[in-house]
């Protein structure tokens, strides 16, 4: 059976799992073949010799097991990152959080120190380290597996010298007093929320933020204010703008703003606290 015929056969099995079944079969093929898309298209009419191996991967994907965990890879901000089960998969909307941080850091026009809370696979810290020359980052997580993965991504992108990875619950193991900005994509889903099938394989402690969902976000706001850090940038749930706006009134702030994701849902905020 040719590559083209194989794609057609197995994409039929994934049509209820993904809106791009043929593309996902190609991704699984490329993972097995260790080739790129151009090679695949040039060899469409050649025989595919790894059908048994492909069938195993497709069977796994049929259960809604994330394709990123199968191929141990995800793209973020145009760069390839290592991923593995037990660590949250990077989302495209988190690129907007990085964009907002870059805008502020560039305006500061000085060497900066940034704290990332809940670094996960390290995508935020690694991208900031790649894009900002004079930056020092502390990246914390409560998940040792996540920290190992984040370190591997920092090494992959040659920015490990700019990032200090630490096992820490929020600010617990962070004693520095010269931090300019805290950035975080924390858990913000309510504990009783029923996750879609494609998310149920991801770690719950990276998704659920408490009974209401915004409890951890509020803890981060509280502790950032106590540490006298000027800027706080976070992702949040689509329905959390109003309660967070009310919560901001408990603090002396210079400015606050919210932004929407690619689907036009409220997705995050920037808070500038008075120092």
Question: Domain residue spans in the chain?
Answer: 3-63, 94-273
94-273 is classed CATH 3.40.50.150 = yes
For residue 90, the model assigns a pLDDT of 95
The DSSP bridge partners found for residue 164 are: 138
Whether 139 shows a pLDDT value over 70: the answer reads: yes
Please give the average per-residue pLDDT across 23-39, as a whole number.
95
The DSSP bridge partners found for residue 113 are: 136
Chain centre to alpha carbon of residue 47:
37
Whether 64 shows a pLDDT value over 90: the answer reads: yes
For residue 190, the model assigns a pLDDT of 65
Which of 13, 7, 10, 11 has the alpha carbon at shortest distance from 45?
A: 7
CB 103 within 8 A of CB 268: no
Q: What is the 3-state secondary structure (H, E, C) of the chain?
A: CEHHHHHHHHHCCCCCCCCCHHHHHHHHHHHHHCCCHHHHHHCCCCECCCHHHHHHHHHHHHCCCCHHHHHCEEEECCEEEECCCCCCCCCCCHHHHHHHHHHHHHHHCCCEEEEEECCCCCHHHHHHHHHCCCEEEEEEECCHHHHHHHHHHHHHCCCHHHEEEEECCCCCCCCCCCCCEEEECCCCEECCCCCCCCCCCCCHHHCEEECCCCHHHHHHHHHHHHCCCCEEEEECCCCCHHHHHHHHCCCCEEEEEEEECCCCCEEEEEEEECC
pLDDT tens per residue across span 78-105: 999 999 999 999 999 999 999 999 999 9
Which of 156, 119, 168 has the alpha carbon at shortest distance from 139?
A: 119
For residue 43, the model assigns a pLDDT of 93
Whether 197 shows a pLDDT value over 90: the answer reads: no
pTM assigned to the model: 0.92
Whether 19 shows a pLDDT value over 70: the answer reads: yes
Q: 189 pLDDT band (50/70/90 cuts)?
A: confident
Chain centre to alpha carbon of residue 144:
16
For residue 275, the model assigns a pLDDT of 77
For residue 202, the model assigns a pLDDT of 77
């Amino acid at each position: 059976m040719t590559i083209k015929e194989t794609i057609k056969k197995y994409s039929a099995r994934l049509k209820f799992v993904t809106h791009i079944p043929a593309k996902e079969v190609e991704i699984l093929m490329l993972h097995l073949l260790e080739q790129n898309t151009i090679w695949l298209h040039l060899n469409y009419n050649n025989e595919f010799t790894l059908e048994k191996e492909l069938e195993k991967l497709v069977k796994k994907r049929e259960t809604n097991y994330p394709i990123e965990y199968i191929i141990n890879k995800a793209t973020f901000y145009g760069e390839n990152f290592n991923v593995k089960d037990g660590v949250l998969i990077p989302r495209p909307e988190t690129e907007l959080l990085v964009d907002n941080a870059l805008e502020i850091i560039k305006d500061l026009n000085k060497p900066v120190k940034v704290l990332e809370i809940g670094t996960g696979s390290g995508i935020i810290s690694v991208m900031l380290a790649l894009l900002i020359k004079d930056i020092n980052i502390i990246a914390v997580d409560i998940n040792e597996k996540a920290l190992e993965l984040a370190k591997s991504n920092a090494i992959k992108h040659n920015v490990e010298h700019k990032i200090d990875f630490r096992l820490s619950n929020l600010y617990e193991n962070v004693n520095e007093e010269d931090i300019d900005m805290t950035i975080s994509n924390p858990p913000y889903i309510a504990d009783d929320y029923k996750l879609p099938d494609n998310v149920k394989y991801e770690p719950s402690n990276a998704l659920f933020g408490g009974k209401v969902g915004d409890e951890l976000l509020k803890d981060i706001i509280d502790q950032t204010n106590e540490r006298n850090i000027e800027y706080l940038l976070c992702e949040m749930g689509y329905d959390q703008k109003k309660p967070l706006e009310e919560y901001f009134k408990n603090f002396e702030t210079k400015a606050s703003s919210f932004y929407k994701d690619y689907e036009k849902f409220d997705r995050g905020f920037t808070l500038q606290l008075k120092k």
